[in-house]
Amino acid sequence: MSKSEDQQRSPPSTGDRLRFSNINELQNQGEALLKHRYGRGIYIQKVEEIDGGKYIISLGNSVPKDLSDSLEKDGVIKFLSFRNIYNLEAEPTNSHYIVELPDREEIYEGFQERRENIVDQLDYSVAKSIYKNVLHFGEVENQLTPIRQILRWTHERGPVAESRINANQNSNRTIRYLEVLEELGYIRRQDGEVHSGERMDSGVIQDILDDSNDDIGVVEALMGDLVQRGYHTLRDRCDLRMLSHYPQFAGAYYYDAVQRGDSDLHLDMAAVRDNLNDQYNRDFGELYIDDKMAQLSQVDVIEKDGNYVTANDEVFSEVSQQISMA
């Protein structure tokens, strides 16, 4: 092939833009140019036409992840695909399309945001699956006590004066708890009193009681419903960080197990530690991690096999069904 033929076939571009004569050319040749600029993992996920003849180009990124079994030492590496990390626009002109290219940092930020969203989804899925198992761990129970008190007082003695709740809890967080519970529909505040809300009065709670295999009361049913519906709100707005504490330790195992599709995956504490650091930017000693895993195994969140952890089949199934990992 002559130099002139090669130039004719390759779409001209500059450092900050690509130019294509048609969308087929973009789809056929653009990905290689994007990989050259942003890295080998970048790929064109889809191209969609929008108003005015423009096209949206959705990018994804594929990265390697060590999913090896610590016991079998099988050296499994899988490329994980993160979709929808960034959208480019192909703008039509008289004779071609122009694609303005962002800096590498913008693409990386989009990838990081997508990755964090997936980890957060994992966190939520694990929390929903294991909440009933870890509810009575001291740290979790202590943080949830004020919420449980408000629900119990309102259910059993309501309406209750807000001033009484404030006086009994003696905490500057009580108002925030009341606001969140009202927003989520569990209580209703009127004329300085706290009444039961629509969610508390609905048949949903009775359905939970009827479906439960355990002998739980209304307040515990309310708490379980609240955590499942309002997990992020409680964690972030009420700063109840212990809600995510144990799900993060469990998630550091289940992230790999779900990605690999293997509930018999064995991870040692070093592998769990790496995942905690990678997923949550949290670093703990392996002995501390082993203690947490021992706690989780006692309530059937994971299984301990000597120095390794494996999945609880029920939790693995629930988490796998709830989460889309890419």
> The CATH number of the domain where 296 resides is what?
1.10.10.10
CA–CA separation, 124 and 140 (whole Å): 15
Distance CA 6, CA 251 (A): 50
Query: What does the pLDDT read at residue 269?
Result: 97
| Residue 107 placed within a domain | no
245's CB contacts (< 8 A; 6+ apart) are 139, 140
The burial of 157, by beta-carbon neighbours within 10 Å (0-12 exposed, 13-18 middle, 19 or more buried), is given as exposed
Which pLDDT score is estimated for 324? 63
Within-domain flag for 128:
no
Number of domain units in the chain: 3
- What is the pLDDT, as a whole number, of residue 213? 59
- The pLDDT averaged over each successive group of 10 residues in the chain (326 residues) is 38 69 86 92 93 90 95 93 94 88 94 92 88 85 92 91 93 93 95 92 74 68 86 89 90 94 96 94 94 95 95 93 69
CA gap 5, 181 in Å, rounded: 68
Residues 7, 98, single domain; the answer is yes
CB atoms within 10 A of CB 85: 22
- Choosing from 236, 260, 278, the residue where a domain stops is 236
End-to-end CA distance of the chain: 41
Identify whether the C-beta of residue 313 lies closer than 8 Å to the C-beta of residue 262: no
Q: Are residues 27 and 75 in the same domain?
A: yes
Q: Which are the contacts of 164, defined by CB distance < 8 A and separation ≥ 6?
A: none
Q: Which of 201, 236, 271 is the last residue of a domain?
A: 236
- pLDDT at position 6, please? 39
215 lies in the same domain as 252:
no
Which of these three, 185, 208, 236, is where a domain ends? 236
What is the dihedral angle through the alpha carbons of 313, 314, 317, 322, rounded to the nearest 10 degrees? -150
Round to whole Å and give the CA distance between 201 and 230.
Answer: 17
Answer yes or no: do 210 and 246 share one domain.
no
- Per the CB < 8 A criterion, the answer to whether 246 and 237 are in contact is no
pLDDT of residue 52: 77
Residue 130 belongs to some domain of the structure:
no
Answer yes or no: do 221 and 300 share one domain. Answer: no
Query: Do both 145 and 232 map to the same domain?
Result: yes
The range of the structural domain enclosing residue 203 comes to 138-236
Cα–Cα dist 34/89, whole Å: 13
